[in-house]
């Protein structure tokens, strides 16, 4: 079967508004293959050639002095787009990061982000759909889905992408089933009809030890209810008989 490759991505910037000349100063991406973190990641600090605004600096702590010897964005742009090539991107509040990355790619004389990647999933929009009316920032989602964020002292693109990847997998853990209950019609239509003709599901028979443990458990239940257990009273179905 074809591997499904996704990439969780995050940036840190000098401020919140790209129209005011704010720039990307850190970008990170974490690979997910077939719903498993692969351990492969992309991470670069970037010298934006300007100071961070005070509010942004308080969040990420990346000083102009620390970034002074780091490469400019055009020097890392090709490596970034090669890493995300064709992958489905997972970005929290995607519009923000995409606007900044598109601006940086344009300054580097390159195409917008969508030219290099597959579809983009906005995990913030997904969280709001699953948890309407609740706080859905990354900290709140880590708490809701029991993702350990103890190592997150400050915002940082690499640690945030690793947390985001785990949160996304937790939010969508039911979507690897063959049937997706109560999915919005538009999402099903966009996904199309899945081809399951080559899908082979393993059939695992209980071994002798497991069968013995099962019988022992039924014995204990039967004893506890003084011989009225329905499991012991029911007649076994004939081999090959249809069941409801």
What are the beta bridge partners of residue 240?
none
Number of helices (H) and strands (E), helices first, in the chain? 10, 5
Residues annotated as catalytic (active site), given as ranges? 155
**35: three-class secondary structure by DSSP:** coil
Distance set, CA 209 to CA 33, 64, 216, 218, 221 (Å): 35, 64, 11, 14, 19
The DSSP-derived string for 142-196 is HHHTT---TT-SS--HHHHHHHHHHHHHHHTGGGGSSS-TT--HHHHHHH-----
Closest Cα partner for 58 from 93, 16, 9? 16
- Interatomic CA distance for residues 89 and 189, integer angstroms: 20
β strands within 193-237, DSSP E:
none
Distance CA 169, CA 157 (A): 18
- Report the SS3 class of residue 104: helix
């Amino acid at each position: 079967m074809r591997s499904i490759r996704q990439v969780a991505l995050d940036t840190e910037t000098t401020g919140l508004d790209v129209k005011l000349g704010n720039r990307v100063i850190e970008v990170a991406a974490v690979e997910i293959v077939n719903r498993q973190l692969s351990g492969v990641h992309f991470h670069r600090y970037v010298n934006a050639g300007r100071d961070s605004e005070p509010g942004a600096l308080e969040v990420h702590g990346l000083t102009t002095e620390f970034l002074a010897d780091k490469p400019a964005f055009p020097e890392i742009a090709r490596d970034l787009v090669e890493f995300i090539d064709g992958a489905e991107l997972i970005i929290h509040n995607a519009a923000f990061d995409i606007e900044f990355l598109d601006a940086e790619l344009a300054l580097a004389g390159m195409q917008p982000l969508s030219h290099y990647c597959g579809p983009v999933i906005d995990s913030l929009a997904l969280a709001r759909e699953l948890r309407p009316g609740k706080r859905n920032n990354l900290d709140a989602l880590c708490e809701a889905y029991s993702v350990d964020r103890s190592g997150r002292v400050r915002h940082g693109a690499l640690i945030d992408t690793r947390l985001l990847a785990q949160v996304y997998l937790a939010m969508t853990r039911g979507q690897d089933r063959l049937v997706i209950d109560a999915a919005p019609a538009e999402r099903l239509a966009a996904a199309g009809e899945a081809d399951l003709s080559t899908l082979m599901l393993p059939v695992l028979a209980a071994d002798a030890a497991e069968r013995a443990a099962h019988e022992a458990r039924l014995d204990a239940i039967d004893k506890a209810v003084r011989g009225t257990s329905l499991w012991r009273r029911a007649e076994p179905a004939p081999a090959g008989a249809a069941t409801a």
